[in-house]
Structure 1
Amino acid sequence: MTDNKTPILPGNEEAELKKLRIEIDRLDTEMVALISQRAECAMRVAAVKLQADPGSAVFYRPEREAQVLSQVMERNPGPLGNEDMARLFREIMSACLALEKPLEVAYLGPEGTFTQQAAKKHFGQWVITKPMPAIDEVFREVEAGAVQYGVVPIENSTEGVVNHTLDTFMSSNLKICGEVELRIHHHLMAGPNTRLDKITRVYSHQQSLAQCRKWLDAHMPLAERIAVSSNAEAAKRVKGEWSSAAIAGEMASELYDLEIIETKIEDSPDNSTRFLIIGTQNVGLSGGDKTSLVVSMRNEPGALYHLLKSFNDFGIDMTRLESRPSLSGNWTYVFFIDFVGHISDPTVIEAMEVLKKTAVDVKVLGSYPKGVL
C-alpha cells in the first residue's frame, strides 16, 4: 500500500482508491472471521457454565465485562477514540451474550425514556428491555425473577438525587451491580403540522422542565408547562394533539414519529444523569470498583463526624453522601454513601468494622464496577 504521507500523482487517484478498497475488503473478511470465532467461544463458555451449574448458571458477569472494555480502551492505538472503540466492542459482546442467554432488563418506562437509552448503552442493543410504570415496579420485577436486571435513575448533575430510588433501596434486598452515566440532551418536538410560534402547551417530566427553564423563559414564556410522568409520555401525548410540544430525547422522537423543532435546549451543556443497574447477585472485583452503603446513625451529637472519620482514617475516597428520613421513626435519618473500592478490599473491611461500632446499622447495597462508558 502507498503510505498516506506519499503524495499521489495526478491521474492516479482511481488506482489508489482501488488498492485501498481491496485492503478494506481484506480487513473486513478478517474481522468477520474473528468475530465469528469470538461468538463460538462465547457459546462454549455457556456450555461449560450449564454443565457445571444447570439450574442457576450466571451468564452475565459485570466485573468481567468492565475489565474487557477497560482493556479495549487501554489497547486502542487510534485513530478511533477510546469510547468509540469500546462502544463497538460493547455491541459485539452484547450479540455474543445473546447467543449464551438473552438478557431481560426492566427499566422506568414507557418506551423512549432516557432510562431505556441508559439500559441500551450499558447492555448493548441485543438486550430485551421491559418498560415499567414506576421505580418500585422495576425493583419488584427483578425481585420476582421476571427479569435478570433493572435500570433506575439515581441522580442528575443539575437537579440532584432521585429520592424515590433511594427510598426504595431501604426496603429492598436487591444489589447494585453496575452504573452508567448518560449525557442528557433535551429536544423540543411536535407533530409535523405544529409551528413553533403556535405552541401553547409544553409537556415533559418535571425534572426536564426544570433543566430547560432558561430556554423556555427566553423562547416560550407564555406556553403552559405541564409536568407528566416521563418524557416519553410527553411525546406520546403530543402525537395526538395540536398546538402542543414535548421535551424529550431523540429516541422518543423516533418512536412517536415527532419532528424535532429545536435541539439541545437544556440549560447546562454538561447535563448528565447517573443510572444504577440492580440485580440479585454480588459482583466480584473488577479492579476499578465503587461501593454503596446505607448507614443508620444514632441521633446524638457528633454522629456525622464519627461517620466521616471512619472513611478519612483509612484513606477511603467518599464520592457521595446523601441523607434521607428513616422509615423507622420521625426525625431520624439514614445516610447513603458511595465510595471508591470494593467491599472485599482489606482496607475497606477494616473501615467497615470501625464504622459498625458507632453505627446502628450498615447495609451494603453493592460493590460494582465504575462506569466505563
Structure 2
Amino acid sequence: METVEKVLAELRRKIDGIDDQILSLLNQRALVAQQIGQAKAGQGLDFYNPGRELAVFERLVAQNCGPFPADAVKRVFREIISASLSLEQPMKVAFLGPSATFTHQAAQKQFGFSAQLVALKSIPAVFEEVRRGRADFGVVPVENTTEGIVSHTLDMFVESDLVINAEILMEISHDLLSVSGRMEDVGRVLSHPQALAQCRHWLEENLADVPLVDAPSTAMAARQASEDPGIAAIASEIAASLYGLRIIKSKIQDNTNNLTRFLVVGRTLSPRTGQDKTSVMFIVADQPGILCRMLEPFSRRNINLTKIESRPIKSKAWEYVFFLDLEGHAEDAAVSEALADLQSCCRSFKILGSYPRCR
C-alpha cells in the first residue's frame, strides 16, 4: 500500500508537469501577442482594445466548467493580457491617487499589474497627463450609487478633447482602521468626504461624539492614521496592509450595494463591440418644450437612456450643460440618427465616447 508521502510526491510531479505546459503555452501566447502588436503598428492601429479584452474574459468564463473559480479565471487572464500588452508596447496609466485608493484599485483591475500606474493629485492632472501624451490612459471616478456624481470629472469634459474608452464598476467596501484596532482609542475619524458620507449612519450610531475630518483621499487618511494612534481612517483593506493598520470594523458603509463607476479616458475613440454605451454632452437653447425634444429622438427609436445629468455652466448664470448616457455605439444606425436629431436642437454638442458597456 502506497504511503501518503508517495501519493503526494506523484501528485506534485503531475502539478509540475502541468505547470511546465502552462509556462510553455504562456510563452506561445506572448509570441502571438507580439505579432499582433507588430501588425497593429504597421497599420497604425491602437494597441489597447477594451472591447476585445471584455470578449476574451466573457468567452473564457462561459467555457469554464470548474472547479477553477470563474472569478479567478478573469483575474488570471487579466494579468496574462496585461503582461502580453507590455510586450506589444509599455502602457502608462495615470490615475487619481495616491496609491491604495479605490481609483488605484480600479486601474489595477482594468490594466493589471504589468502596466505602469502613475498616481496624480487631482482629476485635472490626470486629464492633462493624458492630453499631453505623457500617459496612454487615465482612470477617474465619475459616480457612486450612494453619493451620486463626481462633479469634477464631468466638468473636465466641458473643455477637454479626451474621450471615454471604457468604464469600470467596483464594489466599494469601507473599513475603519487604526494603529491599535480598538474602538475606544478613536479620537478623530479621517477620510475622503465621499467615504464619510457613505458611512454616515454607521458613524452616527457608533461614534456620534467623535469629530469627522475631511482628507484628500482614503489612502491619505490611512497614512495619517498610521502616524497618530488617536486617528481612525475610513479606507480599504489594501490601505490597512500598506500602512500597517488594524481593522477596527470592516464593511461599515451604509449601503451594502455600494458601487462606484470609474472612466478610462484616452485620446482616440474605441471601436464598436455590439455591447456598447455612448456618452454625449450638449447645451440646448432655453425654449418651451426643449427637454421633451431632447428625449424624443431616443424614445422614437426605442433607445434606452441609462443616465441624464446636468451641470451649471460656470461662465453663464442659470444655463446648464447636459450629460447623457445611452445604450449602443455612435456608429449604430439608430443611435447615429438619434444623435443627429438631438444635435439639431443644440447650441453645442459633443460625443464623449462610445465604449464597451460594463456588465
1:7 corresponds to which residue? none
Q: Secondary structure at the match of 1:63?
A: helix
1:144 corresponds to which residue? 132
Query: 1:107-256, aligned counterparts within 5 Å?
Result: 107-192=95-180, 195-256=182-243
* Residue of 259, 263, 273 corresponding to 1:276: 263
* Residue of 285, 293, 311 corresponding to 2:298: 311
CA distance in 2, matches of 1:315, 1:224: 50
1:371 corresponds to which residue? 358
CA distance in 2, matches of 1:302, 1:12: 83
Q: What is the CA distance between 1:209 and its match in structure 2? A: 0.7
1:262 corresponds to which residue? 249
* Residue of 24, 27, 32 corresponding to 1:41: 32
Q: Secondary structure at the match of 2:344?
A: helix
Relative to 1, partners in 2 of residues 1:48 and 1:333: Cα closer, same or farther, differing over 3 Å? Answer: same
Identity among equivalent positions (%) equals: 41
Q: Secondary structure at the match of 1:155?
A: strand
1:26 corresponds to which residue? 17
Question: Which region of structure 1 is more displaced relative to structure 2, 345-354 or 73-82?
Answer: 73-82
State the Cα RMSD in Å: 1.9
Q: Secondary structure at the match of 2:348?
A: strand
**TM-score under structure 2 length normalisation:** 0.94
Relative to 1, partners in 2 of residues 1:271 and 1:330: Cα closer, same or farther, differing over 3 Å? Answer: same
The answer to whether structure 1 residue 330 and structure 2 residue 317 are counterparts is yes
The number of residue pairs the alignment matches comes to: 359
Question: Which region of structure 1 is more displaced relative to structure 2, 344-353 or 321-330?
Answer: 321-330
CA distance in 2, matches of 1:199, 1:191: 10
Question: Which region of structure 1 is more displaced relative to structure 2, 208-217 or 70-79?
Answer: 70-79
Cα contact 1:94–1:125 (8 A) shared by 2: yes
Relative to 1, partners in 2 of residues 1:136 and 1:239: Cα closer, same or farther, differing over 3 Å? Answer: same
Q: Secondary structure at the match of 1:210?
A: helix
Q: What is the CA distance between 1:191 and its match in structure 2? A: 1.6
Cα contact 1:200–1:222 (8 A) shared by 2: no
Q: What is the CA distance between 1:323 and its match in structure 2? A: 1.0
Per-residue displacement from partner, 1:176-216 (whole Å, max 9, x unpaired)? 00010111010111124x63202110000111111111221
Q: What is the CA distance between 1:328 and its match in structure 2? A: 4.8
Per-residue displacement from partner, 1:296-349 (whole Å, max 9, x unpaired)? 111122111111111111111111111111245211112111111000011111
What letter corresponds to residue 310 of structure 1 in structure 2? Answer: P
1:71 corresponds to which residue? 59
Question: Which region of structure 1 is more displaced relative to structure 2, 44-53 or 87-96?
Answer: 44-53
Per-residue displacement from partner, 1:90-121 (whole Å, max 9, x unpaired)? 11100111122221111111111110010000
CA distance in 2, matches of 1:353, 1:50: 33
CA distance in 2, matches of 1:338, 1:169: 14
CA distance in 2, matches of 1:312, 1:86: 36
What letter corresponds to residue 299 of structure 2 in structure 1? Answer: N
1:97 corresponds to which residue? 85
Q: What is the CA distance between 1:19 and its match in structure 2? A: 5.3
CA distance in 1, matches of 2:188, 2:196: 12
1:86 corresponds to which residue? 74
What letter corresponds to residue 174 of structure 1 in structure 2? Answer: L
CA distance in 1, matches of 2:336, 2:158: 22
The answer to whether structure 1 residue 285 and structure 2 residue 276 are counterparts is no
Q: Secondary structure at the match of 1:60?
A: coil
Per-residue displacement from partner, 1:107-166 (whole Å, max 9, x unpaired)? 111111110010000111111111111111111111111101100000001111111111
Q: Secondary structure at the match of 1:189?
A: strand
Relative to 1, partners in 2 of residues 1:202 and 1:268: Cα closer, same or farther, differing over 3 Å? Answer: same
Relative to 1, partners in 2 of residues 1:150 and 1:331: Cα closer, same or farther, differing over 3 Å? Answer: same
1:350 corresponds to which residue? 337
Cα contact 1:191–1:239 (8 A) shared by 2: yes
Cα contact 2:185–2:229 (8 A) shared by 1: no
What letter corresponds to residue 50 of structure 2 in structure 1? Answer: P
What letter corresponds to residue 105 of structure 2 in structure 1? Answer: Q
CA distance in 2, matches of 1:83, 1:198: 38
1:302 corresponds to which residue? 289
2:47 corresponds to which residue? 59
CA distance in 2, matches of 1:240, 1:13: 50
Q: What is the CA distance between 1:52 and its match in structure 2? A: 4.5
CA distance in 2, matches of 1:175, 1:32: 37
Q: What is the CA distance between 1:20 and its match in structure 2? A: 4.3
CA distance in 2, matches of 1:290, 1:20: 48
**TM-score under structure 1 length normalisation:** 0.91
